[in-house]
């Protein structure tokens, strides 16, 4: 045993001596070059990069190294100060600009093949002759069907500068048809649906805050007012935000003159307040705002302004908690940075931004794990940070907007049959099959009641159960379909109904009876006493 110890000791000594010898040699070289490692004005970082460029053994990939250094440096700030390479910056700006350049279709990928849901009206694809239900096989010479091509790759292949040509080959009823399409500017709509739920209650679903949000919202709201709207359910669930000015303009529609919408403040940015100007056209409309854990940024600014001014009721679950003012800096190579310069605060003084802690990136998962999605008592509330609304109600800080009416996620409806169908996207693929089968009739329906009657008439439930068993081998246990049908049938109607002329309006209208958050808003007054 002693001999073994000596052997190890000798071996270790050899390693240590080798390391020391290497360090000594390096130190000898380094002693000839003593640099001032001053951190001020980024001097140390510049010196290191210069030394690497001058002395590194192999050719330097300057672009990759610079991008990596910038990305690493910004990562030391906050989770939302980021560097965007040219492609990512372009995509980010297109998403919020209200338009992009491409062929103009919406599609989904139910069976490893992109299927056209609808060509954008007046867009290049519609003009070229693409139809709802076409399967996209190739983009130019690249096959994208049946080979697990990622959806984002499909999008990049179809998008491109205005005026450029692309060949789209589709499978239509078993026949391959090539279309030469000239790309153009395509409008991106942010109002997903706007309709009357009943004689006096309107519903608007907003997906993001783009450059065109105020215009789209105003047009939608105006139509609903003409139809008798006295109360609005404004759905901001899963709306990740966008342009701040659009959020202010929407809040301005509901608030009185001089009422504070939001203020921003930062180390190098003095407090700046944004008030309503009193010209809003919806000041007499009762308001319920729907939010959840996916509602962020501009969505939270709007919800916070409505809540703190006691202008309406916030319904749902605690919002994401992103309240940072980000300033864009773009470079001539097409890249850019988004740097946080201030924070947003609600009128009562609450900071919308949640804390940066070690669980920041996994916060939504943590909410699930700790029961916040299903129990109001588990909701993260900083009771030490108490603020007051215009009428003196207590509201709390800690990040995000806490709803006035909490609506838990309902997990009781998820039967084994439902879960198995979800895993295989059975309902989505079934909807595509129904469109193929009833294309002629579905495509012509533009009235919701007529659509509902039509779907009832084709015995959708029986066809779905037959499809699930035949194609996916999924069958409900005894009594399980009776438990699942109440929840699944509206979803099936929504997915199939989307192929009608009503498109997303049909989808959202069919969901209303099983949407607990909308039902809670309907049952509770939107007037704050």
Exposed e or buried b per residue across 168-182, where buried means at least 16 C-beta atoms within 10 angstroms of its C-beta? bbbbeeeeeeebebe
Region label for 190, one of left (φ > 0), alpha (ψ between -120 and 50) or beta (otherwise): alpha
Q: Is 390 helix (H, G, I), strand (E, B) or coil?
A: coil
Question: What is the per-residue DSSP string for 448-494?
Answer: HHHHHHHHHHTTHHHHHHHHHHHHH---PPTTHHHHHHHHHHHHHHH
Verify whether residue 297 is a known catalytic residue: yes
User: Exactly one of 125, 207, 297, 298 is catalytic; which is it?
Assistant: 297
Catalytic residue among 159, 322, 354, 493: 322
Q: Nearest 10 degrees: CA dihedral of 249, 254, 256, 261?
A: -50
- How far, in Å, CA of 62 to CA of 53, rounded? 8
* Nearest alpha carbon to residue 375 among 404, 342, 408, 345: 408
Pairing mode of beta strands 184-187, 99-102: antiparallel
Listed in order, strand segments (DSSP E) in 246-358 are 260-266, 269-275, 286-291, 313-316, 324-330, 336-345
| Cα separation values, 99 from 86, 117, 273, 431, 452, Å | 18, 19, 30, 29, 33
In 3D space, the residue among 231, 283, 264 whose CA is nearest the CA of residue 521 turns out to be 231
Q: How far apart are CA 244 and CA 424, in angstroms?
A: 39
Tell me whether residue 333 is one of the annotated catalytic residues.
Answer: no
Alpha helices (H) along 131-281: 151-158, 213-226, 244-252
Task: Report how far Cα 420 is from the mean position of its chain's Cα atoms.
Answer: 26
Supply 108's token pair: 């989904």
97 is catalytic: no
Cα(302)–Cα(289) distance, rounded to whole angstroms?
Answer: 9
Residue 278: helix, strand or coil by DSSP? coil
Distance between first and last Cα of the chain? 84
Contact 50, 65 (CB under 8 A): no
Structure tokens at 354: 């949640």
Distance of CA 144 to the CA centre of its chain: 25
**What are the tokens at 333?**
């190579």
Q: Which of 134, 184, 308, 363 is catalytic?
A: 308
Phi, psi of 182 (to 5 degrees): -95, 120
The C-alpha atoms of residue 465 and residue 488 are separated, in whole angstroms, by: 11
Residues annotated as catalytic are: 297, 308, 322
């Amino acid at each position: 045993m002693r001999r073994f110890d000596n052997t190890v000791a000798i071996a270790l000594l050899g390693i240590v001596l080798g390391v020391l010898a290497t360090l000594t040699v390096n130190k000898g070289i380094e002693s000839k070059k003593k640099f001032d490692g001053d951190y001020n004005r980024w001097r140390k970082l510049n010196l290191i990069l210069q030394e690497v460029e001058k002395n590194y053994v192999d050719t330097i990939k300057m672009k990759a190294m610079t991008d990596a250094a910038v990305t690493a440096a910004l990562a030391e700030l906050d989770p939302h100060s980021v560097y965007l390479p040219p492609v990512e910056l372009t995509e980010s700006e297109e998403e919020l600009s209200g338009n992009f350049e491409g062929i103009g279709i919406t599609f989904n990928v139910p069976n490893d093949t992109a299927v056209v849901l609808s060509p954008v009206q007046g867009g290049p694809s519609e003009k070229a002759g693409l139809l709802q239900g076409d399967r996209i096989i190739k983009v130019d010479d690249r096959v994208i069907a049946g080979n697990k091509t990622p959806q984002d790759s499909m999008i990049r292949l179809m998008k491109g500068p205005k005026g450029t040509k692309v060949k789209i080959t589709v499978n239509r009823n078993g026949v391959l048809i090539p279309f030469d399409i000239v790309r153009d500017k395509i409008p991106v709509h942010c109002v997903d649906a706007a309709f009357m739920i009943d004689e006096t209650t309107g519903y608007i679903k907003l997906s993001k805050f783009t450059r065109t949000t105020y215009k789209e919202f105003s047009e939608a709201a105006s139509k609903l007012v003409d139809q008798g709207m006295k109360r609005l359910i404004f759905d901001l669930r899963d709306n990740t935000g966008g342009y701040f000015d659009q959020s202010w303009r929407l809040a301005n529609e509901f608030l009185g003159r001089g009422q504070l919408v939001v203020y921003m403040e930062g180390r190098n940015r003095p407090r700046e307040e944004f008030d309503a100007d009193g010209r809003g056209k919806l000041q007499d409309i009762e308001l319920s705002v729907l939010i959840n854990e996916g509602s962020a940024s501009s969505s939270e600014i709007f919800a916070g302004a409505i809540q703190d001014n006691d202008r309406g009721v916030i319904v749902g679950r605690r919002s994401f908690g992103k309240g940072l003012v980000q300033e864009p800096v773009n470079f001539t190579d097409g890249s850019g940075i988004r740097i946080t310069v201030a924070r947003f605060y609600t009128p009562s003084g609450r900071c919308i931004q949640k804390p940066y802690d070690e669980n920041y990136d996994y916060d939504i998962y943590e909410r699930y794990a700790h029961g916040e999605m299903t129990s109001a008592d588990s909701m993260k509330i900083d009771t030490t940070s108490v603020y007051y609304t215009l009428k003196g109600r207590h509201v709390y800080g800690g990040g995000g907007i806490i709803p006035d009416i909490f609506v838990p996620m309902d997990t009781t409806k998820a039967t084994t049959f439902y879960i198995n169908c979800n895993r295989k996207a059975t309902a989505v693929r079934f909807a595509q099959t129904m469109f193929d089968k009833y294309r002629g009739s579905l495509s012509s329906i533009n009235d919701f009641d007529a659509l509902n009657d039509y779907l009832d008439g084709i015995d959708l439930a029986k066809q779905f159960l037959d499809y699930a068993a035949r194609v996916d081998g999924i069958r409900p246990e005894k009594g399980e379909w009776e438990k699942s049908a109440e929840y699944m049938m509206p979803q099936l109607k929504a997915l199939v109904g989307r192929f009608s002329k009503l498109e997303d309006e049909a989808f959202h209208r069919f969901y209303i009876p099983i949407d607990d958050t909308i039902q809670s808003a309907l049952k509770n007054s939107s007037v704050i006493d």
